[in-house]
Amino acid sequence: MATEHLSPLDLAFWRIESAAHPMHLGALAVFTAADTGAAAGTGTAAGTGAAEHAAELLTARCAAVPGLRRRIRDVLLPVGAAAWSPDPHFDPARHVFLVRTDAVDPHAAAGPLMARPLDRELPPWEAHVLAGPDPDSFAVLFKFHHALADGLGALALAASLFDEGPALRTPPERPAPERRPVPEQRAGSALRRLPGVLAARVQDVGQALEIGAAVARAGLPLGVPAALTADAAGRGTRTVAGLALDLDEVNLVRKGAGGTVNDVLIALVAGALRRWLADRGDPEPHGAGPRALIPVSRRRGPAGTSGAGNRLSGYLLRLPLAEPDPLRRLARVRVAMDRNKDAGPARGAGAVALLADHVHPLGHRLGGPLVAQAARLLFDILVTSVPLPGLTFSLGGSRVREVYPLAPLAAGQSLAVAVSTYKGTVHFGLVADASAVPDLPALAGALRAELDALVREVS
């Protein structure tokens, strides 16, 4: 079997991780337990609670998903590279955990779990079933290392553990095409191909230089609110908060003010940050505003969620926190996003993920810690969106009521915002450095207030 090396970007995510800054994605799924009849149809044993039954199902199903049985191992060649290999001692009990908590809000339990790095000797994922005081509901926190999958890839892996649904299952891998013998070629034919090889190399170098120049033009992190910065060394503490908003209200703003749903969501983040800072008594924002990195998926097509690894680029824009008018703030976000889209996801300062392809594996191994510390120079806050299919997720007959995506925190940054839309509701998942942002629920409240203000403006 041929060795499957990590792609340059996957390797970068693997190398930049530290104990204080784990590089795993998260998704907090909140379930409503099935009624007695539905539970009976799924084989729930008498006296078994919904959370316990969910943990049993996840334990039984994960062993059948090949992508969840693989671990990462260093290889001799190329020097500095790493590759996927089957875990010969795979044990579901080391990945699926039943957690009993007295917290009514599952986000309170999710914070400490998000702070805990995954075991790098095991397949890099975990599922924590949170059994709270309410017997009629439970939650599951999924954790997938960023080297294993991006947001869409993680969705496919998590969906493979849910109840049967043809659109949720990861499509089976296609057999590799039959290898035909390569005809012998003379030196002259290789020379004729050389201009094309050189042209491709020159194009790659040109793209890297263009992205680097865009990063330089994006400017240093000047005038960024102190609340968006954290001690680069970090203590590894995390706090998590979530907010659910009505998608119809978001669409009302979109129709009244123009732009896309994503434009409105980014503007909501900008307005909420402004409100939150004012409520804290922080200085009024000034200047162009903090730089938000907006990841962009390079997956295409209905089966685009299949496959492991990352296929990402990104856009970079300044969040106009200094603009006091909500509609003008949205207009500025819309102009900036239109400018990014015109340039495309392969250009501009937000496309820094593509630079990983130009780094030798040894460079990733030796330079990983330096790159992790340099994230603060590239962007100030992550704002990412993970689209979900228009289907109903369930586990053992219990239906998913809410889905909150959770993003990792880079060194020196205090806040990451992730958004998903599920069943007509927009879910904001907020992850923060607990020491730098002790009042994260207040930011969630500011998001609600900002949407209310925009709805009033367009009504």
* Among the listed residues 311, 263, 292, 436, the one whose alpha carbon sits nearest the alpha carbon of residue 378: 292
> Rounded to whole angstroms, how far apart are CA atoms 23 and 117?
8
State the pLDDT at residue 330: 97
State the pLDDT at residue 45: 46
> Rounded to whole angstroms, how far apart are CA atoms 61 and 162?
9
- Distance (Å) of CA 107 to CA 113, 114, 282: 10, 10, 26
Question: SS3 of 239, please?
Answer: strand
Q: What is the pTM of this model?
A: 0.86
Scanning 182-296, the segments in alpha helix (DSSP H) are: 187-218, 247-257, 261-280
Both structure tokens of 137: 């509901």
> Rounded to whole angstroms, how far apart are CA atoms 95 and 92?
5
Which residues on neighbouring strands pair with residue 309, listed in sequence order?
149
Longest dimension (CA), the chain: 77
Q: Phi and psi (nearest 5°) for 233?
A: -65, -40
State the pLDDT at residue 40: 44
Neighbours of 377 (CB within 10 A): 13
- Structural element, H or E, at residue 145: strand 137-145
* Percent residues over pLDDT 70 in the chain: 78
Q: Could you say which DSSP state residue 391 is in?
A: S
Cβ contact 258:334 at 8 Å: yes
State the pLDDT at residue 337: 96
pLDDT digits (tens, 9 = 90+) for 291-337: 999 998 876 543 344 456 777 888 999 999 999 999 999 999 999 99
Residue ranges of the chain with pLDDT lower than 70?
1, 35-48, 165-223, 232-235, 299-308, 349, 351-352, 354, 358, 366, 370-375
Q: Phi and psi (nearest 5°) for 335?
A: -60, -45
State the pLDDT at residue 36: 47
